[in-house]
């Protein structure tokens, strides 16, 4: 990740977002082919990705501390890297919660949400590839709009699923459990939108 002119923060952002995308893909595939007996292994796999993302973020912060003249403001680099890391953390949190509550079967409609989260993370990854050329990119703005639209789709899905849950389930434990799962799934989409918002703010400050 080192170049002749020094550390490439834009490549580092892409690298961090790749961890988010990989986590989201693992979450979707794990729930799509759900096997409760495989949860410990899947959690380990997910945590290794999250840990690698943390290490990459800390390395970037250590370099930033010594950086004389970063390409964008230090505060923006710190905020964007944290927002990307929050996406990875929130995806892992979904699987952790399901394991903690000993989920034995997946409601089919949940897969719509995990697929949406994976799509959102892919859009962030693609947006950050374009971010290095934000002053001349023809597609970055469209990617930001796409992420915002996906987050709105997540909101609609959340309300639809919550309504269905409360109209079809009377068991209080099941209501609490699946409500919390849906809350965590929605948070993944919200965190994706936060990344898009920070990218947009940085573009406006540097244009």
Superfamily in which the 2-205 domain is placed by CATH: Phosphate transport system protein phou homolog 2; domain 2 (1.20.58.220)
**Quick one: tokens of 161?**
């699923």
**What's the whole-number mean pLDDT along residues 15-31?**
98
How far apart CA 153 and CA 134 sit, in angstroms, is 26
Q: What is the pTM of this model?
A: 0.94
Convert the pLDDT of each residue in 34-92 to its tens digit: 999 999 999 999 999 999 999 999 999 999 999 989 999 999 999 999 999 999 999 99
The residues with which 3 forms a beta bridge, in sequence order, are 6
pLDDT of res. 1: 39
**What's the rounded Cα separation, in Å, for the pair 26 and 110?**
14
């Amino acid at each position: 990740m080192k170049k002749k002119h020094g550390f490439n923060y834009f490549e580092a952002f892409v690298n961090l977002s790749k961890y988010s995308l990989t986590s989201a893909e693992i979450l979707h595939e794990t729930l799509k082919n759900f096997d409760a007996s495989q949860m410990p292994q899947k959690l380990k796999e997910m945590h290794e990705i999250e840990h690698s993302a943390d290490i990459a973020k800390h390395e970037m912060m250590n370099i930033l501390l010594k950086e004389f003249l970063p390409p964008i403001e230090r505060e923006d680099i710190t905020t964007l890297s944290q927002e990307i890391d929050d996406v990875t953390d929130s995806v892992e949190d979904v699987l952790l919660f399901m394991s903690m509550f000993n989920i034995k079967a997946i409601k089919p409609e949940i897969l719509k949400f995990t697929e949406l989260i994976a799509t959102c993370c892919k859009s962030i990854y693609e947006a950050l590839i374009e971010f290095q050329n934000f002053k001349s990119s023809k597609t970055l703005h469209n990617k930001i709009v796409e992420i915002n639209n996906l987050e709105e789709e997540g909101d609609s899905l959340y309300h639809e699923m919550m309504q269905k849950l409360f109209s079809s389930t009377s068991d209080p434990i099941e209501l609490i459990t699946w409500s919390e799962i849906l809350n965590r799934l929605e948070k993944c989409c919200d965190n994706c939108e936060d990344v898009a918002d920070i990218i947009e703010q940085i573009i406006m400050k540097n244009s």
